[in-house]
Amino acid sequence: MSSVAITSVSCPDKEYGFKVLTGADEWTFYKPTGPVTTVSFISNKDTVSYADYDFNTDACVYRANLNAYGLYFFTYQVSLFSATASYPLQVGMTMDIPAMVYNWNSRRYGSQPDDVDSASNGSTLHLSITNLTSTHFDATFSGKLWSSRQPDTLFISDGEIKNALLPAKVDN
């Protein structure tokens, strides 16, 4: 078993010291109780699935200057980019997703996230909002994704996003 013991941290204006805990010490740890965000789909014949606590899933944003969403999950393991869409999300809302990028089995798949005009690239991927709470959303997605990274089109089916944090509206 490997481990790292952080004994101190120095900053320009402060210095912090830490006691290294051993098995003899009494200690408690934080156990996350928030929802787990999941993103799963079938791409051609591969079943792709990601899951982590919602606070580790990057940012979902609505870029007001583009009138489009960027949905980023799991340290950018999967990212979806909408064409022009309205804000805020609403149950039943459907949006075009002309660009999607994901990592799977040590390879990068998908399209180049050029801009909202990439809706003309031949992709037919659509995302539909199925549930909203005050903090999270669920969605389904499927369609054909034109891929600039692979020689073939990616056929995405059974796409599902569960418990994703609601997108924040940003100006840039």
pLDDT band at 68 (very low <50, low <70, confident <90, very high): very high
Helix (H, G, I), strand (E, B) or coil at 91: coil
pLDDT score for 118: 47
pLDDT higher than threshold 60 for residue 146: yes
pLDDT score for 20: 76
Q: If 0-12 CB within 10 Å is exposed, 13-18 middle and 19+ buried, where does residue 140 land?
A: middle
- Cβ atoms within 10 Å, residue 136: 18
User: What is the radius of gyration, based on Cα positions, of the chain?
Assistant: 20
HSE toward the beta carbon, residue 123, CA cutoff 13 A = 31
Q: What is the pLDDT of residues 122-139, one digit of tens each?
A: 788 999 999 999 999 999
- Cβ atoms within 10 Å, residue 65: 8
* Mean pLDDT on 21-44: 80
Which token pair is 142? Answer: 């499927």
Residue pair 99/81 in contact by the 8 Å Cβ criterion: yes
Residue pair 103/137 in contact by the 8 Å Cβ criterion: no
Q: What is the pLDDT of residues 77-116, one digit of tens each?
A: 999 999 999 999 999 999 999 889 999 988 888 876 554 4
Nearest to 135 by CA among 64, 57, 48, 30: 57
Its pTM stands at: 0.77
What's the mean per-residue pLDDT of the chain?
85
pLDDT higher than threshold 50 for residue 3: yes
Mean pLDDT check: name the lowest of 53-57, 69-73, 136-140: 53-57
Angle, CA 152 vertex, CA 149 and CA 138 arms, to 5°: 75
pLDDT score for 139: 98
What does the DSSP assignment read for 47-86?
EEEEEEEGGGS--EEEETTTTEEEEEETTTTEEEE-SS--
pLDDT higher than threshold 70 for residue 55: yes
pLDDT score for 148: 65
Q: What is the identity of the amino acid at 101?
A: V
Rounded Cα distance, 60 and 136, in Å: 10
Mean pLDDT check: name the lowest of 5-9, 71-75, 168-172: 5-9
